[in-house]
Structure 1
Amino acid sequence: ILRIQRDLELDKKEVSAQIILNRYLGKEQSDRHTLMEVFRAHNEKCRALSGISLAPGTVIRYETSLRLTEAFLRTTYKKEDCYLDEITHQFVEDYDFYLRTVRRCCHNTTTKYLLNFKKIIRIALAKGWMKKDPFAQVHFHFEPVEREFLEKQELKVLLNKEITITRLAQVRDIFCFCCLTGLAFMDVQQLKPEHLVADIHGKIWIRKARQKTKNMCNIPLLDEAQKIIDRYKEHPYCQTHGVLLPVCSNQKMNSYLKELADICGIRKNLSTHCARHTFATLTLASGATIDNVAKMLGHANVNMTRRYAKVLDSSIMRDMEVVAENMAL
């Protein structure tokens, strides 16, 4: 009761025994807002901005976060919603525990969902609907992840493998195209004829702003990549949608890539993002400078590129051969 009185005084609101009693009993709470109210309003705005300033994948991510939060409330607190002023540091800890145990999320996935949830809390704080930040003493970090990539010989095997199943052949071609261009899944899905530009020497380049960051990618089109584009010029999907390649959903791509890996004898967990890492690693290993690779990947700085690129044994051996020659006694 004393806390309610103090809160009313701090908010410069009228204080009376009846007002305090009503707030205590939860009868006079028109100024209180709920978590789901804020979350759904945020997601509705995201849907309206989809394809304009937000990638469709971002919208899907927040929809997933909303469903997880609803499931967490039902499982942990046996309720469908809660008032914003009921969200405490303990609430955040309980959500973290739920994601790791009930949902079996790894550390990085848990962190991503909590960061999504934190954004909703920041909106409520900015509107003055919450007085205390439940994330005040919470610090996030991502654990480093070793990303898979294909070595040159593995990429050759994949390119040259005869595949008779149409859906797998298409996925193979699109994956290899990404390995040869460094384009992210969303960008290759949206690749259109206007993104192919000839320079003054007649060389074809891919010039396209990345969907995720809007940074411009400038990528010379290799012969093998051009062959893949030519293969699908008359494809019905490409002609109907005005795109260069018949790209299916990310989920289907990743599922079919596992089949491809088995067929080609590649003992690696292939995914659409693996292709981007393959491009960065192989281009650097072939002698491209990190600045040029960053430009092709559409990175704002080379620090991002360093996260993608792996040092190959062949690169180490090449450098050491030079060292051995220079140090010959």
Structure 2
Amino acid sequence: MKSSTVIKILFLLNKTRINTKDEAPIRCRITFNGIRKVFSTGLFINPENWESSLQKAIPNDTKHKQINTQLSLIKQEINQAFLFLQVQKEQFDVEDIYLKYKGEDIKPSKTLIETFDLHNSRMEKLIGIEYTKSTFSKFIEAKQHISDFLFFKFKKKNILLEDITLKFLNDFDYYLKTEKKFKQITINKSIQRVRKVIKLAISEGFIVTDPFLLYKPKKVVNTITYLTSKELYKLENHKFSQKRLEQVRDMFVFCCYTGLPYQEMSILNEKHLVKKFDDRLWIDMYRQKTKRQISIPLLPKAISIIEKYQDDKRLLPVISNQKFNSYLKEIVEIVGIEKKLTHHIARKTFATTVLLFNDVPMEIVSELLGHSKMSITQSHYGKIVKLKVSEHMIKLSNKLNKN
């Protein structure tokens, strides 16, 4: 993400432009971060008097001494411009070096990829402070999606920020849908990350007008997948012949009764178990994604799973997220559950089947899930609450009819 600390300066002859004196123009080529900038030095020399390997004019007579002195000055001034930009600017490119050497103002126009690099380089330094590696990797992916789109649509590697329009954003949406085959929720998240980079560009003064001003993300129908109480019971009580499947089932069920995301489940150890005011065991830890503290009282089923696997180092077996989800595919086939299970479904089952369907208020659900905002919980589980309202109203209606 960081700019390179190396600059290459090379002098070349343009032998296709030899003048009437049989002299070729000397050009200078600056290479920085793999990008080249070539310009004319205004000097000419007979090709026979140029030693490319030494980067100097020969023989060492008065005329060629003057050429060598001027070339040395050009190289020195370019290096000074480069050193100045290293001190003054966090991000710059070869064009900025050339403009600084010429004494001109650094170009105000910035590109989208350049701003992405600036954003990602800053985010990278904040991993473990404000962001997780997982969040950072999503912005790396977002940059790659933009790069792929630029080449697909325009056969370009970049675009100026001022050239980004509402049409550009709509075309990007269409590209992700038709070429990448993304679902709308994934598309919206990708464009949301681009929007964050654009906000940085505005705050840095790279652009004035927000291209997202009139952009509206397409609506997504939120369907929550979770295990019903019957499916959960069926899963809990199945006898597996393979230990690896039994372990993954137990870990999944544990998360169905705690709502722990994969990252928190994978690092759970004894220090996270605390006896609190009610003399019951609670999980006390910080959620890596939101940096919010989560406190979850342990239900009997969760305690029994901990007691089954607890050792000196870990409370649960260790397994990668990829293998965990892979084994879940085998489990649903064996048990006969017609749903695609991932670790995240356990968290949704905790929120719905275990909490909301047992009349736990939305505020408490939000707290137990460690959501940063109540609105996040409402947007995900609002329909579940409506189902509960409907059930209660039917019961009330039946009760009133009896009276």
Specify if TM > 0.5: yes
Secondary structure, aligned partner of 2:264: helix
Q: Paired residue for 2:224? A: 147
Q: Paired residue for 2:327? A: 256
Matches within 5 A, 1:168-207: 168-207=245-284
Matches within 5 A, 1:87-98: 87-98=164-175
Alpha-carbon spacing, 1:214–1:89, altered in 2? closer, same or farther (3 Å): same
Q: Paired residue for 2:341? A: 270
Alpha-carbon spacing, 1:294–1:31, altered in 2? closer, same or farther (3 Å): closer
Q: Paired residue for 2:398? A: 324
Q: Paired residue for 1:59? A: 136
Q: Paired residue for 2:362? A: 290
Q: Paired residue for 2:73? A: none
Alignment of 1:128 with 2:128, yes or no, is: no
Contact preservation (8 Å) 2:332, 2:339:
yes
Q: CA-to-partner distance for each residue in 1:172-207, whole Å, 9 max, x for gaps?
A: 122111100122223223323222111245310112
CA distance in 1, matches of 2:400, 2:367: 32
Alignment of 1:46 with 2:123, yes or no, is: yes
Contact preservation (8 Å) 1:285, 1:315:
no
CA distance in 1, matches of 2:262, 2:200: 30
CA distance in 2, matches of 1:120, 1:311: 36
In structure 1, runs of 5+ residues without a counterpart are 1-21
Alpha-carbon spacing, 1:315–1:192, altered in 2? closer, same or farther (3 Å): farther
Contact preservation (8 Å) 2:184, 2:218:
no
Which of these residues, 280, 284, 287, is aligned with residue 351 of structure 2?
Answer: 280
CA distance in 2, matches of 1:85, 1:91: 11
Q: How far 1:279 moved relative to its partner?
A: 1.1
Contact preservation (8 Å) 1:181, 1:225:
yes
Contact preservation (8 Å) 1:87, 1:134:
yes
CA distance in 2, matches of 1:111, 1:57: 18
Q: How far 1:163 moved relative to its partner?
A: 2.1
Q: How far 1:313 moved relative to its partner?
A: 8.0
Alignment of 1:308 with 2:373, yes or no, is: no
Secondary structure, aligned partner of 1:73: helix
Matches within 5 A, 1:107-126: 107-126=184-203
Q: CA-to-partner distance for each residue in 1:35-61, whole Å, 9 max, x for gaps?
A: 222212222222222222112221121
What is the percent sequence identity of the aligned residues?
A: 35
Q: Paired residue for 2:9? A: none
Alpha-carbon spacing, 1:207–1:324, altered in 2? closer, same or farther (3 Å): same
Alpha-carbon spacing, 1:36–1:314, altered in 2? closer, same or farther (3 Å): closer
Q: How far 1:311 moved relative to its partner?
A: 5.7
Letter in 1 for 2:370: G
Matches within 5 A, 1:159-238: 159-234=236-311
CA distance in 1, matches of 2:236, 2:128: 32
Contact preservation (8 Å) 2:292, 2:370:
yes
Q: How far 1:266 moved relative to its partner?
A: 0.4
Contact preservation (8 Å) 2:111, 2:161:
yes
CA distance in 1, matches of 2:244, 2:236: 15
CA distance in 2, matches of 1:204, 1:146: 33
Alpha-carbon spacing, 1:320–1:85, altered in 2? closer, same or farther (3 Å): closer
- TM-score, normalised via structure 1 length: 0.79
Letter in 2 for 1:263: I
Q: How far 1:265 moved relative to its partner?
A: 0.3
Q: How far 1:252 moved relative to its partner?
A: 3.4
Secondary structure, aligned partner of 1:324: helix
Q: How far 1:321 moved relative to its partner?
A: 4.5
Q: How far 1:153 moved relative to its partner?
A: 1.8
Which of these residues, 136, 156, 163, is aligned with residue 86 of structure 1?
Answer: 163
In structure 2, runs of 5+ residues without a counterpart are 1-98
Contact preservation (8 Å) 2:247, 2:317:
yes
CA RMSD of superposed structures (Å):
2.9
Secondary structure, aligned partner of 2:225: coil
Letter in 2 for 1:253: F
Q: How far 1:76 moved relative to its partner?
A: 1.4
Letter in 1 for 2:398: A
Q: How far 1:315 moved relative to its partner?
A: 8.7
Letter in 1 for 2:366: A
Contact preservation (8 Å) 2:262, 2:343:
yes
State which drifts further: 275-284 or 186-195: 186-195
Letter in 2 for 1:72: F
Report which of the two structures shows the higher radius of gyration computed on alpha carbons.
Answer: 2
CA distance in 1, matches of 2:343, 2:364: 22
Return the structure number with greater relative CO, CA threshold 8 A, min gap 6: 1
Q: Paired residue for 1:19? A: none
Contact preservation (8 Å) 1:147, 1:277:
yes
Secondary structure, aligned partner of 1:207: strand
CA distance in 2, matches of 1:153, 1:123: 49
